[in-house]
Structure 1
């Protein structure tokens, strides 16, 4: 059975692996078929597979001088899920990204099976839907239509 302590410890161990560019250490935190989802246009879409996730972050350390902090952690062992806030420092570009990640754990192994990353960033007016690229919202039961009927802006008179 998952515990809050195990979940937080594994997330922090994963981030330690990220900061150390430790591919083996990061890979050990994930199920082999883990998926890391990102917002549209970020990092070429979802990363699939524990080793792919680890190698891609190690590459960011080498090329961007990336370093991360875990700023907040909430865990729910009963649902095998956690959410964190983080900061990503890209020292080569002198930039900071901030965001949240939603974690889904494999209850049997206790490993991370999925991460859904949400970045704090300006609204992209060129996109109709601002959502994670490649994530099956409909298949996971997320609402696909507005729950309250609203007229299209072109139908509103003012």
Structure 2
């Protein structure tokens, strides 16, 4: 039986794996056939399979200096679903992307089976922060700087 504590801890473990570029750690959070969906035009479409998801995020850490925070998290064990609000710091580009993700858990294994990502703003290469216009991120306690130092912070690369 799923609990809110288990669901929250697994999502946090997944994000720790993302920040550490720990492929095996991320894989352990997913069903083997998990799917991560993105908005149109993002990351080449849906990523299918736990290994694909993990390797793609590890690649983003290596090439974009990516680091993530979980800013809000709600878990509903009765529906086997959770939702988070996150910030994605692409330190090599000097950009911040904000959004939400909807998680669906496999009740039998307790692992993540699906993630649906929703972004606060379409990708706009002229903006350093892709977020909701007029929303007081600072006033509401959201991170404004990347909490994880990245060696790529001075490097510029493409935004995929």
For normalisation by structure 2, the TM-score amounts to 0.76
CA radius of gyration, larger in: 1
Alignment match, 2:104? 104
User: Is 1:33 matched up with 2:36?
Assistant: no
Distance in 1 between residues matched to 2:17 and 2:100, nearest whole Å: 18
Report how far residue 122 of structure 1 moved: 4.5
Q: Which digits, 9 at most, give the CA deviation of each residue in 1:52-92, with x for residues without a partner?
A: 00000000000000000000000100000000000000000
Alignment match, 1:16? 16
Alignment match, 2:118? 118
- Pick the structure with more helix per residue: 1
User: Is 1:61 matched up with 2:54?
Assistant: no
Unmatched segments (≥5 aa) in structure 1: 125-158
Q: CA RMSD in A?
A: 1.3
- Name the count of aligned residue pairs: 124
Alignment match, 2:152? none
Moved runs in structure 1, 4+ residues, more than 6 A? none
Distance in 2 between residues matched to 1:93 and 1:123, nearest whole Å: 13
- The secondary structure found in structure 2 opposite 1:72 is strand
- The secondary structure found in structure 1 opposite 2:78 is helix
Report how far residue 123 of structure 1 moved: 9.6
Alignment match, 2:127? none
- The secondary structure found in structure 1 opposite 2:5 is helix
